[in-house]
Amino acid sequence: QVQLVESGGGLVQAGGSLRLSCAASGRTFSTYAMGWLRQAPGKEREFVAALIWYDGSTLYADSVKGRFSISRDNAKSTVYLQMNSLKPEDTAVYYCAATHSRGLRVAASYDYWGQGTQVTVSS
- Whether residue 70 contacts residue 5, with contact meaning beta carbons closer than 8 Å, is answered with no
- Whether residue 52 contacts residue 35, with contact meaning beta carbons closer than 8 Å, is answered with no
What is the pLDDT at residue 30?
Answer: 85
Q: What is the pLDDT of residues 76-91, one digit of tens each?
A: 889 999 999 999 999 9
Q: What is the pLDDT of residues 18-74, one digit of tens each?
A: 999 999 998 877 899 999 999 999 999 999 999 999 999 999 999 999 999 999 987
Between 100 and 1, name the one with better pLDDT: 100
- Whether residue 43 contacts residue 60, with contact meaning beta carbons closer than 8 Å, is answered with no
